[in-house]
């Protein structure tokens, strides 16, 4: 039987301009990896939106998986800028195979 371990899946929605700041915070928290994917449209509290290359407000989705303590360190590091920079951060427990990789 395959063994799994619990890790935190962290998803961050941010403007493209904030991606470097977020990935640096991920690296600084000691998390081993991250993935960035473009986001073309969505809807939130302020209504619908879509990518806007002219204005430079393209959105990206940043995904990472980490142990609890590193996930909390990342959340603490980003907490001061969540509202200021309009980031959305979610995290929840996931089961992973090869937990030593995360």
d(CA 43, CA 66): 28
| pLDDT grade for 5, boundaries at 50, 70 and 90 | very high
Q: Which CATH architecture has domain 5-101?
A: 2-Layer Sandwich (3.30)
Contacts for 66 with CB less than 8 Å, ≥ 6 apart: 7, 8, 10, 29, 31, 32, 74, 102
Contact 93, 4 (CB under 8 A): no
Q: Give the global pTM.
A: 0.85
Q: What per-residue confidence (pLDDT) applies to 53?
A: 52
| pLDDT grade for 101, boundaries at 50, 70 and 90 | confident
Can you say how many angstroms the Cα of residue 80 is from the centroid of all Cα atoms in its chain? Answer: 15
| pLDDT grade for 100, boundaries at 50, 70 and 90 | confident
Q: What confidence tens digit (pLDDT) does each residue in 33-77 have?
A: 999 999 887 777 777 766 555 455 688 999 999 999 999 999 999
- Say yes or no to pLDDT of 23 above 90: yes
Q: What per-residue confidence (pLDDT) applies to 1?
A: 85
């Amino acid at each position: 039987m395959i063994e799994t371990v619990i890790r935190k899946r962290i998803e961050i929605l941010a403007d493209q301009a904030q991606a470097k700041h977020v990935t640096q915070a991920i690296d600084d928290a000691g998390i081993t990896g991250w993935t960035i994917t473009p986001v073309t449209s969505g809807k939130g509290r302020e209504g619908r939106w879509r990518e806007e290359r002219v204005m430079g407000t393209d959105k990206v989705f940043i995904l990472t998986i980490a142990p609890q303590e590193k996930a909390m360190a990342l959340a603490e590091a980003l907490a001061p800028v969540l509202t200021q920079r309009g980031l959305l951060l979610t995290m929840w427990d996931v089961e992973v195979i090869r937990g030593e990789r995360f």
